[in-house]
Structure 1
Amino acid sequence: MEWFAAPEYWLARSVFQRGLALVYLVAFVSAARQFRALIGAHGMTPVPAHLARVPFRAAPGLFQWHYSDRMFARVAWGGAALSAALVAGLGDLVPLWATVPLWLLPWALYLSIVNVGQTWYAFGWESLLLEAGFLAAFLGNDTVAPPLLTLLLLRWLLFRVEFGAGLIKWRGDRCWRDLTCLYYHHETQPMPGPLSWYFHHLPKPLHRVEAAANHGAQLFLPVLVFAPQPVAGLAAAGIIVTQLWLVASGNFAWLNWLTILLAVPAVDTAFLSSAPAHGQTPVWFAVVVVAVTACVAVLSYQPVRNLLSHRQEMNRSFNAYHLVNTYGAFGSVTRTRYEVVIEGTDAQRLTEGAVWREYGFRGKPGDVGRLPRQFAPYHLRLDWLMWFAALSPGYARPWFPQLLTRLLANDPDTVRLLRHNPFPDTPPAHVRARLFRYRFTTPRERRATGEWWHREVVGPYGPTVSGR
C-alpha cells in the first residue's frame, strides 16, 4: 500500500480540511441569517411551494420529508456548530471510521439547503463547496497518511474550476482576447469591494497585464498541478497568488478562498515540517477511496465533454448531488453598470411634491458617498440578485414584486437584510424602483465631491406599488 499513501502532504491536508470547515461555517451562518425572507415558509420564493413541484430524485435532501422554518434553522445552525467543531479539529480526535461520516454530514446538510435554495443558491460556489466537502471525507485524519488518489481528485477539481473559467473567458467575450476586459470589470462586477475603485483606476497597460495574467493562471497553471514536484507546488502557488488578487479587488463570496484551499493540497509542505508517524491504512478505507475515485472518473464524462464543447456551459451540476460539476465565471463582461434603487414615501397621495427616501443595501452600490464594503466570504444573497435584476428584469420577476410588497409591510425578516430602512417606525404608503446608471468617479471628481460613485437616472424599473 506504499503507492496509496502520501505522508508528505499531511500538513496540506490539515490546512485544507480546517479551512474547508471554516468555509462551511460561513455558508451555514449565511443560510441561517437570511433564509426566512428569501425561502422561508412565508418568504419571497417559499420552500414548501418549491417542494410541491420538485420530486426527491431532482432535489434530494432532508426537507423532502418535512419542512418548517424551525427545522431549517436547526439544520443551518447545527451545520454551523458541526463546522466549528471540525475547525477545532474534531475530525482528528475520532477514529477513522467516524471521520468519514463526520465530514459527510455537513455535506448532506448543506446539500439539503442548496436543493431547496432555488435562484438564491444558483451560484457555482455552492456546488464547489459541496463537491470539495464530499471529497474531504476521503482524506482521512491524523491516524493515516493522506491518500494519494484523493489528493489527485482535489487537483482534478481545482483544474476544472480554473481551466473551465479560463476557457469560458477565451471562448466568450472578445475583450478577454484583446485584453481589455479589466477596463470595465472592476467597476461593473456584481459587488465591488473597498479597493475596487483603486483597481479600476490602475493604468490601462496594467489592466492588460491583469487580463493576460488571468489567462496564464487559468489556462496554463492548472495543467501543471499534475506535474511532479516542485512544479505542481509552484503552479499551485501561482494560482493562490492570483486568487488573493481577486480577493482584494472584489466580493465573490467564498469562491476565491475555496479555490485557494483547493490549491493547498498540490503544495508539497514537507519542507516545512517532517511528517508524523501514521498508522497503516485500513483495507476498508483504501477500498472506499478507490471506489470514490472510480465514481468520480465516471461522472467526469459530462464535465469533460462540456469543457471540450464550443458551447461550453458555466457552473452546471449534472446530478442532483452536485458531484463532479462544471465551473466557469465571467464569460462576458458588462461595460456599463446599472443599479436598481428602491425608494419609499409616506405621502398618501402621489404628487410631484412627494418625498421619496432610499432603502440602503449592505453590499450593493447605493449611496454614492459610501465606500463599498468587504463582505466576502460571507454571501449577501439579496444584494447579488439585485445585480442580476438590474441586468434583466425577467430574471427578477419571480421574487422582486414580493420584495416590494414585503417592504410595504416593513416585514422584519426582509428589513433585516438591509443596511438602512428609511421607515423604521411606520411602513411607507408607496414604494417604487428606479434604474440608475452608475460609474466610479474619476480621481478629480472624488477629490472635489468626496463621492465614490456618480449616478444618473435611466428611468422607472417598474410600476409604483401602494400599500394602505
Structure 2
Amino acid sequence: MEWFTADGYWLSRLIFQRALAVIYLTAFLTAALQFRALIGERGMLPVPELLRRTDWRTAPGLFRLHYSDRFFALVAWTGCAISVALIAGVDGRLPLWAAMLLWALPWVLYLSIVQVGDTWYGFGWESLLLETGFLAVFLGNADTAPPVLMLWLLRWVLFRVESGAGLIKIRGDDCWRKLTCLYFHHETQPMPGPLSWFFHHLPRPLHRAEVAANHVTQLLVPVLLFTPQPVASAAAGLMVLTQLWLVLSGNFAWLNWLTIALALSAVDWSLVAEPPAQSGAPLWYEVVVIAVTALVLVLSYRPARNLVSRRQAMNRSFDPLHLVNAYGAFGSISRVRLEVVVEGTDEPVVHPGTVWREYGFRGKPGDPRRLPRQFAPYHLRLDWMMWFAALSPAYARPWFGPFVQRLLENDRDTLRLLRHNPFPGAPPTHVRARVYRYRYTTWRELRATGRWWHRTYVRDFMRPVPPGPSPVSRTRRS
C-alpha cells in the first residue's frame, strides 16, 4: 500500500529513535543506582510487599514471576545494555522483525520496573516513556520507510502532552489566567536548576510574556501538528524551543527531553537529506501496524474525554500497560517554598543545647550557600518526594519513617542517595526533621552573604527519634 509509508521521514525516525534510546538509558541507569534503598528487599517500600497486595491484572510484569534484588539489578542493567545497543544503531543492522523485538525488550523491562515502583514511580514521565516506547516498537528500521500511522500516533502523544499541560493550567490556578504564575514558579518548583535563581529575577513583564507564550505553545500550537508541512514542522519547532527553555529553568527528569524527541519526529527533514533506498513494507508488518493503530485509537477514548472534561485528571494511566495516558503539569502553583530539612545528632540525650547536623541532599535545596545543580534528565526520586513531603506529610507517610530508620542505621544504600552524611564514623543517636521556608535572596543579599537562599524555621516535621520501630507515626500533620 503506497499510503502506508512516508519516505521523507526516515531522518525524523532516526533522530527520534536515538533520542529515545538515550532516555531509556537514563531511566534504566536511574533504576539501577537507586532501587535498593527505595524498593529493594530492605528498601523503604519493598517490592515483595507490593506484590503481595496487588495482582497480575492491575500490575503485570516480569517480577510477578520472581523478585530478588539481584534479579532487579539484572533487569535494570540489561535495560542499560540494550539502550546502548540502540544508541549505537544495532537495530538498523537487523531484519525488521528482529529490530522490533529489540525495541520491545526495553519496553517490557521498564514496564516491569514501573509496575513495582510504587510511589517512587508515580510520575507522569514514567507513563510517557512507556507509551512512547510502545509505539517505537512499530516504527520499523532502515529496511522500510517509516509507517505513516505510527508517525501520526506519535503526534497524538505529543498533542496530549502539550494540550494536557495547557488545559490543566487554564482550568486550575488563576495565576495562569492572570499571567502571574512565574512570579513564584521558578522559586517554588520541585527541583530548581543552576539558572532558576536568575530566571526568578527576570523582570515581571517578561514573566507575564513567558506565561502568555506558554499558553500559545500548549493550547494553540498542538493543533497545528495535524496540518500539512511545513506548518507542522514549524509547530514542532516552537515546542522544541519551549521545552529547551524549561530545560534551562529547572530539573524535570526526562520529561522535557522526551517531549523534544516527540516533537522532532514531526519535523520534515526531507530538505536536509535525501532518503536512502528502502524496500516496501511486508504485508505482515502492515497488518501489525494497522492492528496496533486500531488498539491505540480505542484506548484513546478515555484520555481524549479527559482532555475536554472540566474535571481533567493530571498524569493518569487508563490501562495497566500504560499504552495511552493523560498528561499535565502544574495545575496549581505554590506561592511559598517549604523544605523538609533532616538533621541528626550523636549526643545520647536530646536537650535544648543539642548540636544538630544537617543531611545534604543531591538536588533539593538545603545549604543556603549551595547553588542548585543540574541533574535532569537523571531523576533524583528521593529529592522529588521530599518536595511533596513539604507540601503535605500525607505524601511522605508511607516511606518517611523507613527513611529515617535507615539513617539511624547508617544504611549504606540509603546514604548513597544523599550528597552528604554528617555521621560517617557511627550512626546518629537521634534524627529529626523540620520545615523551613525558603526564598531566593536578592542580588544585594547574594553579594553580601554569598547565599542563594534565605530560610526561616516554620515548624517541626518530625520530633527527634532514636533507633527503634519506624517513626512514621511521629510526623506531624500540616
TM-score (norm 2): 0.97
Once the two structures are superposed, the pairs formed by residues 114-125 of structure 1 within 5 Å of their partners are 114-125=114-125
Q: 1:294 and 1:184 mapped to 2: Cα distance?
A: 43
Q: 1:95 and 1:72 mapped to 2: Cα distance?
A: 30
The residue identity in structure 2 corresponding to 1:154 is: L
| Sequence identity percentage | 68
Following TM superposition, by how much is the alpha carbon of 1:463 offset from its aligned partner in structure 2, in angstroms?
2.0
Following TM superposition, by how much is the alpha carbon of 1:294 offset from its aligned partner in structure 2, in angstroms?
0.4
Question: In structure 1, what is the equivalent of residue 328 of structure 2?
Answer: 328
The residue identity in structure 2 corresponding to 1:77 is: W
Provide Cα deviations, 1:8-64, integer angstroms capped at 9, x if missing partner: 000010000010000000000000000000000110000000000000110000001
1:260 aligns with 2:267: no
Structure 1, gaps ≥5 residues long: none
Provide Cα deviations, 1:239-295, integer angstroms capped at 9, x if missing partner: 000000000000000000000000011100011111111011101111111001100
Provide Cα deviations, 1:428-466, integer angstroms capped at 9, x if missing partner: 000000000000001110111111000000011022111
Provide Cα deviations, 1:59-95, integer angstroms capped at 9, x if missing partner: 0000011100000000000000001100000110100
SS across alignment from 1:271: coil
Q: 1:392 and 1:147 mapped to 2: Cα distance?
A: 46
Question: In structure 1, what is the equivalent of residue 192 of structure 2?
Answer: 192
RMSD: 0.6
Q: 2:135 and 2:359 mapped to 1: Cα distance?
A: 42
Q: 1:306 and 1:293 mapped to 2: Cα distance?
A: 20
Question: In structure 1, what is the equivalent of residue 395 of structure 2?
Answer: 395
Question: In structure 2, what is the equivalent of residue 168 of structure 1?
Answer: 168
Structure 2, gaps ≥5 residues long: 469-478
Q: 1:38 and 1:386 mapped to 2: Cα distance?
A: 13
Q: 1:97 and 1:416 mapped to 2: Cα distance?
A: 41
The residue identity in structure 2 corresponding to 1:227 is: T
The residue identity in structure 2 corresponding to 1:280 is: G
Provide Cα deviations, 1:374-415, integer angstroms capped at 9, x if missing partner: 000000000000000000101100000111110000000000
Q: 1:180 and 1:346 mapped to 2: Cα distance?
A: 46
1:242 aligns with 2:251: no
Once the two structures are superposed, the pairs formed by residues 190-229 of structure 1 within 5 Å of their partners are 190-229=190-229
Q: 1:354 and 1:326 mapped to 2: Cα distance?
A: 49
SS across alignment from 2:105: helix
Following TM superposition, by how much is the alpha carbon of 1:96 offset from its aligned partner in structure 2, in angstroms?
0.1
Q: Which runs of 4+ in 1 moved over 3 A?
A: none
Provide Cα deviations, 1:109-143, integer angstroms capped at 9, x if missing partner: 00000000000000000000000000001110001
Question: In structure 2, what is the equivalent of residue 458 of structure 1?
Answer: 458
SS across alignment from 1:462: strand
The residue identity in structure 2 corresponding to 1:39 is: I
The residue identity in structure 2 corresponding to 1:37 is: A
Q: 2:90 and 2:221 mapped to 1: Cα distance?
A: 34
Q: 2:53 and 2:351 mapped to 1: Cα distance?
A: 44
Following TM superposition, by how much is the alpha carbon of 1:329 offset from its aligned partner in structure 2, in angstroms?
0.4
Q: 1:64 and 1:426 mapped to 2: Cα distance?
A: 38
Once the two structures are superposed, the pairs formed by residues 20-419 of structure 1 within 5 Å of their partners are 20-419=20-419
SS across alignment from 2:339: strand
Q: 1:266 and 1:407 mapped to 2: Cα distance?
A: 48
The residue identity in structure 2 corresponding to 1:426 is: A
Q: 2:264 and 2:216 mapped to 1: Cα distance?
A: 19
Q: How many residues align structurally?
A: 468
Following TM superposition, by how much is the alpha carbon of 1:217 offset from its aligned partner in structure 2, in angstroms?
0.6
Q: 2:398 and 2:22 mapped to 1: Cα distance?
A: 32
Q: 1:41 and 1:48 mapped to 2: Cα distance?
A: 7
Q: 1:439 and 1:58 mapped to 2: Cα distance?
A: 42
Q: 1:115 and 1:236 mapped to 2: Cα distance?
A: 32
Once the two structures are superposed, the pairs formed by residues 6-25 of structure 1 within 5 Å of their partners are 6-25=6-25
Q: 2:107 and 2:202 mapped to 1: Cα distance?
A: 41
Q: 2:25 and 2:86 mapped to 1: Cα distance?
A: 9
SS across alignment from 2:227: coil
